[in-house]
Structure formats: C-alpha cells, structure tokens
Structure 1
Amino acid sequence: MHSWVDGQPATALNLQNRGLAYGDGLFETIAVRAGWPSLLDAHLARLALGCQRLRIPADLALVRDEVVRYASAVGEGVVKLILTRGDSARGYAGAPTAAPRRILQAGPLPQYPDAHAEAGVRLFACQTRLAEQPLLAGLKHLNRLEQVLARAEWQDAEHVEGLVRDTQGRVVEGVYSNLFLVRHDQLITPDLSRCGVAGVMRAALMEQAGVLGIAVTVRDVLIEELQQADEVFVCNSVYGIWPVRALGTLNWSPGPLTRKLQAVARTLLET
C-alpha cells in the first residue's frame, strides 16, 4: 500500500517539513480490521486536542475522511497518521502561510505470540526518565526521543515492554503502552498531567470500567506500590491488554479483572 501525502499517493516529502526539522507535529497509530480504523473517534479526539495545544490549524474533517478511505484500501493492518505544521524555512517560527501536511503510512498488524495475552509479559525497568512538560503531556507528539532511548535499554527477548518513570521517580507508563494496577478489585492508573501519552485504549477502558461499575483512580503511582498490586496490566490500541507477570523480582498472575477487561478491549478493537 502506497503512502499518502495530503490525500494523494506519494513517495517523497519536502525536506523543509517541520515534522522532520523540529518534530513539530502529531501522530496516531491506528489498527485497521476489515477495512475500518479501530477507535477512530478516540484517535481523532486526541489529535484534535494536540492540534489545539500546538496551534496547528488542521482540517480534522478532511483528516477523518482520508483516514477512512485509506483504511478501506488497506483492509487489515496498522495505519500511521502523521500531521505536521507544514513546510517552512530555517528557524523555530513557522511560516504564517504554511499549510499542515497529512501523511498516511500502512504496515501489517504485528503478530505477537499468544503467550503475551495469555501468560503475561515481563517488564524491563528502564533507567531513562520522562521530563515533565504539562503543555505536551498526554499528546502523541512527534518528539519521541525519550521512548527511543528507553527502548534501546534492552535487546533480549525475555522483556517485551519497559516501565518508565518521570524525573521524580513516579511510575508513568510503558514505553509504548499505558499501565494499570488492580488493588482490591479497583483500577489505578498513573496521572499523566505532567508527562506521558494518554492512550486511546486507556481512555476507552476507563470509560468501560465506569459502565461495569469498576472504580478507577487516576493518581501518582510510586514504584513501591507495584508490590502491593493484586494484578498489573499494560494496554494499547493495537494489541489490547497484556497482563504483566513480572518486573524484576516482582511477580503477578493474570487475574479476573484483567481477564474481564481483556474481553472488553478485544471487543473495542473489533468494532
């Protein structure tokens, strides 16, 4: 499947694009099944928030139309939507007349081992810390060097995902996922108002938990709290939920609440 730039098949991008020069833009990674982009409204809502924060005057109705048409052509796979401020000459100040650029790329759905969802995954305790910047917190912006550094910390197959903290040592998220703890049949997920990515699956699970009568608390989480957790799981909008079975010397088993929400996540990704 060819990439699209501004709604047309393309194999090149202007070298003056601000996404390349400054990471001046946003992106969404969207699972596509049966020609439809999963959780599309949630992805576009986060994109809209990012455009508001970064003051990128994007036509989101046009973006939606292009994503739907592109996903239909893809059929099955993962679509990456990149939205940049556009092209401009050197300098941090963007050109007032620059038009946002819309880039769509496609790849196959990742084939993860069934054991990730069934038996759970082992997390690597990353040393890379996330800097606090409330203006960018929660957004899927193009500045992802912290995640690049964190992911480079392990190369073995034993660890599937990494756990990252902020500069104060608070637990934030996985390198490419969000984190939930289960304690006394209630959900706890880290506050992402200082840093981190507010995942669309995280938001969807919190909403569905409310429907199911499961209490959810969003707050600061310390690393020491993990040892008191009854269950731990990570989630994102491509694979759904993976139970966490280990982090260093800590161990958990996939529990009933994780299993219940796994089924919810599976349904969300199929609709």
Structure 2
Amino acid sequence: MLINGLPGDSISASDRGLAYGDGLYRTLEARHGTPLLWHWQWQRLAADCAQLRLPCPDEALLLREIASVAAELERAVVKIVLTRGGGQRGYAMPDGCSPTRIVSASAWGGYPAERAAQGIVARWCDTRLALQPLLAGVKHLNRLENVFARSEWRDPAIAEGLMLDMAGSVVEGTMSNLFIVRGGELLTPPLDRCGVSGAMRASVLDAAANLAIPARVVRLLPDEVLAADEAFVCNSLAGIWPLRQLHTRHWHDWPLTRHLQLALQGGS
C-alpha cells in the first residue's frame, strides 16, 4: 500500500475522508501491474475529482503507483482512494488542501465463472437511493445506501440486488450498473440524480457504438426491466453478468448480451 507515494498503512485521524467521507475511490483490475479499462477508469476518476473540487493526481504518477503495488501479483484488485486530506473541525472545505492519495492492491479473489456464462439471480432492494444531483454519478466515499441494500439478503444464490431511487425509477445494482435490451436496443438508466457512473458502463456504451448497437440512456421503471428481452449488470471486476432471474421473471437467452461480452473480453 502506498500513501501519498510512500509505503504505509495509516492516515491521520483528522483526515476528512474518515471524518466526513470527503473523497472518492475507484476499484479496478490489474494484470502484472497493468490496469484494465484504464481509459474509462481515468475518465471517471478525473470527472469525479472535478465534481468534488478535489485536485486530480497526475495520471502518469497513478500508473506508476499502480504498477508498484501490483507488480508481484499476476492478477490484482487495485483500489485508489483520494480524500481532501487533514483538516480542522467543520464541514466547510478548507481554502487550501493537501489531498491524501492511497493506492493499494490485493490478490484477485475472482467471481464464479458461471455468473457470466449462465446468468445470475437478482432481487429488488428495499433500500432506496436518495436524489442528490450534486453527487450523482460520483463514486464518493459515502456508500451507506449500498451497505444497507447489500445487507438485505444472505442467500448466496442471489448475486446482486437492484436499487430504485426515491421517485421509483430503477438506477443500478448495489455494486453494478444495469442495462436492458428491448427490441434490439440497449437501454441504461441515467445517473443524473443519484447512482455511480462505472467505468464498465462507459466501456459498454462505447462498445455498443462501435458495434452499431442502438443505445439510449433512459429512465426505467421496475415493470420495464421485468418486461425486457434481456437484462444484465456490469462492473469493472465482474465484467458482464446476464440476469437469469429477477423476481418472477426468468430469462434463458441473451444474444445481444453475449455479443457485448465477446467484444469486451480482454478489454483494457
């Protein structure tokens, strides 16, 4: 683990990331020290920094630190955490800040291969996402809604839960973004009021454009998801998982989803 470029495993108790969740993070896969999906991960990290008014680290610096922490791991999970750094009491952003940058890596734990191959069982979550356009899309450090949502079930047969916002629209999974297929068109919910804009989501949309698959960002209601021809969730570690079952709906074929899975295999 590197903290501001130096080996370490602790930060100040006055760090605003700890005190207020004043920061952001990205989680990604690296192979032999090289991060996958970096183009989209960097885009999202830079955009999140701008949204939170945090100084964005130098891209080359981050790549060197990722290579350093993941160098001895053939396949690794890398986490980048950026906070506003230490500060006095009070919510107001300090006039000048010294951000804390944490880059760490752990051995790849992986997911069961059958989730991508055979699809997953998902459920609806009772926990709703609050509407806050100021933070919409940002992978900030305040993830208690996801913590509560993911804690709603213990059944290992259920791989993911889908979350609605306070207005009743479907937004995302607890750890993933959602896509459905309707009439040959790829649809995904907007993230302008809440939710996390994932790197894999951006990668899927770019892949759809390259494959001439029509795609739209559109608000979706639960009944529209259940009526979809196909549905899948995605994130940068899991890739694409087709939905096999959601509530009383079962899916058995995912032709467009399979097309995207093949197109994105080995993406970097």
TM-score by length of 1: 0.94
1:30-67 CA-partner distances (Å, limit 9, x unpaired): 10113211111211211111111111123333334323
Q: How does 1:1-271 map to 2 (within 5 A)?
A: 3-61=1-59, 62-268=61-267, 271=268
Matches of 1:254 and 1:88 in 2, distance apart?
53
Matches of 1:265 and 1:253 in 2, distance apart?
21
Residue 132 of structure 1: how far off its partner (Å):
0.8
Preserved CA contact (<8 Å) 1:84 1:101: yes
Matches of 1:80 and 1:138 in 2, distance apart?
18
Matches of 1:35 and 1:106 in 2, distance apart?
10
Matches of 2:253 and 2:200 in 1, distance apart?
19
Structure 2: state its 5+ residue gaps.
none
Matches of 2:92 and 2:218 in 1, distance apart?
36
User: Aligned to 2:136, what secondary structure does the other structure show?
Assistant: coil
Structure 1 residues 63 and 34 mapped into 2: Cα distance closer, same or farther (>3 Å)? closer
Matches of 2:191 and 2:153 in 1, distance apart?
24
Residue 248 of structure 1: how far off its partner (Å):
1.1
Matches of 2:98 and 2:79 in 1, distance apart?
20
Q: How many residues align?
A: 267
1:60-87 CA-partner distances (Å, limit 9, x unpaired): 3333432343333544210010000110
Partner AA of 1:251 in structure 2: H
1:214-264 CA-partner distances (Å, limit 9, x unpaired): 000101001011232111111110121011001111111241111111112
Preserved CA contact (<8 Å) 1:63 1:102: no
User: Aligned to 1:43, what secondary structure does the other structure show?
Assistant: helix
User: Aligned to 1:259, what secondary structure does the other structure show?
Assistant: helix
Preserved CA contact (<8 Å) 1:124 1:154: no
Structure 1: state its 5+ residue gaps.
none
Calculate percent identity across the aligned residue pairs: 46
Preserved CA contact (<8 Å) 2:80 2:102: yes
Matches of 1:5 and 1:75 in 2, distance apart?
22
Matches of 2:72 and 2:87 in 1, distance apart?
31
Matches of 1:250 and 1:108 in 2, distance apart?
36
Matches of 1:30 and 1:256 in 2, distance apart?
27
After TM superposition, the runs of 4+ consecutive aligned structure 1 residues lying more than 4 A away are none
User: Aligned to 1:50, what secondary structure does the other structure show?
Assistant: helix
Preserved CA contact (<8 Å) 2:165 2:171: yes
Preserved CA contact (<8 Å) 1:119 1:254: no
Preserved CA contact (<8 Å) 1:243 1:254: no
Matches of 1:76 and 1:97 in 2, distance apart?
38
User: Aligned to 1:65, what secondary structure does the other structure show?
Assistant: helix
RMSD: 1.4
TM-score by length of 2: 0.95
User: Aligned to 1:221, what secondary structure does the other structure show?
Assistant: coil
Residue 158 of structure 1: how far off its partner (Å):
1.5
Matches of 2:12 and 2:253 in 1, distance apart?
48
